[in-house]
């Protein structure tokens, strides 16, 4: 029988709002004892001194991209799941923009077949079904068929430019009892932009994307929710004005949830300039190495410093329910081009927890429980799932995190097949030591 005793570990459980140091006994992957000092230790128990370490529920990523099938040179399901485990994620929901896309039962069955052939003990993968055929935003996908399957909900992961189609989609999905995630972005306003419109984009000579490209689309979505009543999850919130709109919608009782990607909390458009002053001061001194880094070409673009501060506050206030990783692998060749010509997106499953811990918890912006809430409990609730918890008698869905362990972000140190991150070559503190799934 397998037994592990974690002594003097800092236990975080956002479900029960507990943050304390204790001993925890895990027997056959189940939590069998939680108490301050376990003295009766069964034979054949592996005893570990965990002073300074943190034990919390496994993290949940509400949306990320898989390269497989179709773009295996970027990422495979195996490498994505290994990266997730290395970063402390025990549940990951995949967007449907694979090739072929998950817009029918055959596409979903193909992914499920891939999973069955993977190594055991990896995180659990969930799949979003496409809203539109081929994720092209033109006509509805086979929503009824997909709703009867194992999809967690519906999302294209791309903007929908036709409000009439969005309205029909919401009307059709309402009785299906599935989540709907929409990314508010007006492509006509965004045009070929690559950075948030403003002084920094002008100085850098990068085509700008106005904040109104997001907020005008968001306002339209919220009007449709108000008129039809279908619950909607707002993806990739990136502007202070969007926060105001969502705050007002929630105050009016509209059934909306929202998420922000992790990099939009840590960085702003000033990082692209490599100027710490543009980024808001010394807290972002690392940005000196980020100048014109194509790995900072994201969708939506990094916001202003005011946007960043508003997003942080919105997460603390509960206006934004979850932090998403939006892990999006690209090859070295794809990203080694001019900033505006590079495909948007960056990896993040292995990096998010240590960088968020040191960027938000150690700076006093968040408490440890607040961070775990929006990385574990909040995302699970948004997916309609029961959150993982640290409690007696439940299966161990846990991670053990060392916030001080130093490591260097290099291609060979990452489980992901790609290394498109602005932190490549940087030395970080914080590493997940073990994941129980």
Catalytic residue status for 186 = no
The per-residue DSSP string of 278-345 comes to TTTSGGGGGGGG-TT-GGG--SSPP--HHHHHHHHHHHHHTSS-EEE-------HHHHSS-GGGSPS-
Using CA atoms, how far residue 24 sits from 7, 16, 20, 399, in Å, is: 7, 16, 12, 13
Indicate which residue of 186, 278, 326, 402 is catalytic: 326
154 with 143: CB under 8 angstroms?
yes
d(CA 293, CA 330): 14
Q: First CA to last CA across the chain, in angstroms?
A: 17
Using CA atoms, how far residue 247 sits from 36, 182, 238, 400, in Å, is: 41, 17, 14, 34
Helix 305-317 / helix 240-251 crossing angle, nearest 10 deg: 30
Which helix (H) or strand (E) segment holds residue 244: the answer is: helix 240-251
d(CA 8, CA 54): 10
60: Cβ contacts below 8 Å, ≥ 6 apart = 89, 90, 91, 92, 93, 375, 376, 379, 380, 383, 385, 387, 388
Q: What tokens does 172 get?
A: 């059709």
d(CA 2, CA 27): 6
- The closest alpha carbon to 66, from 53, 81, 55, 52, belongs to 81
List 259's β-bridge partners, or say none.
322
Q: Dihedral angle at the C-alpha atoms of 62, 68, 72, 74, nearest 10 degrees?
A: -20
d(CA 157, CA 128): 9
Indicate the pairing of strand 256-261 with strand 195-196.
Answer: unpaired
List residues with catalytic annotation.
Answer: 326
């Amino acid at each position: 029988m397998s037994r592990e005793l974690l002594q003097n570990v800092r236990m975080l459980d956002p479900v029960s709002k507990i943050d304390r140091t204790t001993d925890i006994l895990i027997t056959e992957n189940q939590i069998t004892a939680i108490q301050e000092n376990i003295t009766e230790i069964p034979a054949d128990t592996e005893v570990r001194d965990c002073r300074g370490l943190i034990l919390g529920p496994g993290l949940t990523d509400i949306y990320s991209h898989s390269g497989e099938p179709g773009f295996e040179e970027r990422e495979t399901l195996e490498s994505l799941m290994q990266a997730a485990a290395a970063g402390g994620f025990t549940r990951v929901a995949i967007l449907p923009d694979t090739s072929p896309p998950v817009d029918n039962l055959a596409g979903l069955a193909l992914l499920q077949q891939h999973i069955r052939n993977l190594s055991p003990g990896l995180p659990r993968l969930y799949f979003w079904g496409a809203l539109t055929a081929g994720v092209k935003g033109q006509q509805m996908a086979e929503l009824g068929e997909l709703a009867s399957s194992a999809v967690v909900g519906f999302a294209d992961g791309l903007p929908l430019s036709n409000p009439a189609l969005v309205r029909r989609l919401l009307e059709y999905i309402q009785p299906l009892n599935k989540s709907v995630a929409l990314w508010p972005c007006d492509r006509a306003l965004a045009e070929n932009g690559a950075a948030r419109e403003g002084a920094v984009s002008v100085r850098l000579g990068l085509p700008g994307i106005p904040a109104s490209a997001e907020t005008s689309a968001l306002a339209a979505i919220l009007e449709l929710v108000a008129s039809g009543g279908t619950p909607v999850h707002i993806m990739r919130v990136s502007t202070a004005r969007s926060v105001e709109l969502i705050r007002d919608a929630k105050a009016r009782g509209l059934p909306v949830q929202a998420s922000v990607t992790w990099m939009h909390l840590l960085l702003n458009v000033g990082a692209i300039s490599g100027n710490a002053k543009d980024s808001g001061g010394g807290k972002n001194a690392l940005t000196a190495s980020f100048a014109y880094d194509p790995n900072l070409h994201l969708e939506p673009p990094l916001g202003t410093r005011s946007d960043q501060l508003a997003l942080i506050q919105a997460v603390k206030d509960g206006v934004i329910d979850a932090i998403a990783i939006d892990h999006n692998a690209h090859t070295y060749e794809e990203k080694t081009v001019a900033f505006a010509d590079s495909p948007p997106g960056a990896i993040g499953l292995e990096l998010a927890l240590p960088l968020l811990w040191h960027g938000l918890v150690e700076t006093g912006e968040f408490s440890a429980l607040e961070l775990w809430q929006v990385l574990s409990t909040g995302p699970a609730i948004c997916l309609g799932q029961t959150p993982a918890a640290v409690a007696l008698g439940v299966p161990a869905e846990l991670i053990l995190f060392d916030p001080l362990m130093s490591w260097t972000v290099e291609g060979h140190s990452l489980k992901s097949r790609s290394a498109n991150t602005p932190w490549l070559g940087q030395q970080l503190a914080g590493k997940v030591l073990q994941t129980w799934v």
